[in-house]
């Protein structure tokens, strides 16, 4: 993953993207016991084109120039396929903006906060996402009050209540 992180940092330095943050299972591994995943979810601010659409092509091109191999919607560095995702929702844009800087074997990287990882998982709503949120609670790796406030602001209280039944019907 070292080469992938160095390349991501370089595309920021080169101005291809403003900033990025790691989410998904790899992001969660900075806080809780790691789970198996097929790729690294990298979320980035994407500037709309003149037509108003966003494109991942400049990011893919820049990563390939830095040694990545483009394959099946990913850019692979060694054994690590990188999936680039956009700041498609207000929650994801906030998660990128509030991501924390952490070292990975002394390589600087940005990772969603535990609360944003949980909220994004709740928004995705797949069984594996709910399981990941449960793991955050079981391992006491998330601030429940902060997550509840985040869920309230982004309309995710019902989803949070599926994982934490004790908060159903409560207000902040």
What digits encode the pLDDT tens for the residues 45-64?
Answer: 887 667 777 788 899 999 99
pLDDT category at 88 given cuts 50, 70, 90 is confident
**Tokens 């680039």 correspond to what residue?**
84
pLDDT band at 92 (very low <50, low <70, confident <90, very high): very high
pTM of the model: 0.90
In the predicted structure, residue 172 carries a pLDDT above the cut 50: no
State how far the alpha carbon of 154 is from the alpha carbons of 87, 115, 123, 128, 137, in Å. Answer: 14, 12, 9, 20, 20
Q: Which domains does the chain have, with CATH numbers?
A: 2-112 (3.30.460), 116-167 (no CATH)
Read off φ and ψ for residue 85, nearest 5 degrees. Answer: -125, 150
pLDDT in tens, 112-129: 999 999 999 999 989 999
For residues 71 and 80, what is the distance between their CA atoms, to the nearest angstrom?
A: 12
């Amino acid at each position: 993953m070292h080469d992938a992180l160095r390349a991501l940092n370089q595309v920021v330095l080169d101005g291809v993207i403003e900033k990025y943050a790691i989410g998904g299972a790899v992001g969660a591994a900075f806080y809780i016991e790691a789970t198996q995943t097929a790729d690294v979810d990298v979320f980035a601010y994407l500037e709309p084109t003149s037509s108003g659409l966003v494109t991942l092509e400049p990011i893919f091109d820049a990563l390939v120039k830095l040694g990545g191999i483009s394959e099946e919607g990913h850019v692979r560095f060694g054994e690590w396929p990188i999936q680039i995702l956009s700041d498609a929702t207000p929650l994801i844009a906030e998660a990128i903006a509030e991501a924390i800087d952490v070292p990975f074997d002394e390589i600087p990287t940005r990772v969603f906060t535990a609360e944003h990882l949980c909220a994004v998982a709740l928004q995705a709503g797949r069984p594996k996402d709910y399981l990941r949120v449960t793991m955050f609670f079981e391992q006491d790796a998330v601030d429940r009050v902060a997550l509840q406030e985040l869920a309230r602001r982004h309309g995710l209280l019902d989803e949070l209540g599926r994982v934490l039944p004790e908060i159903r019907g409560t207000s902040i």
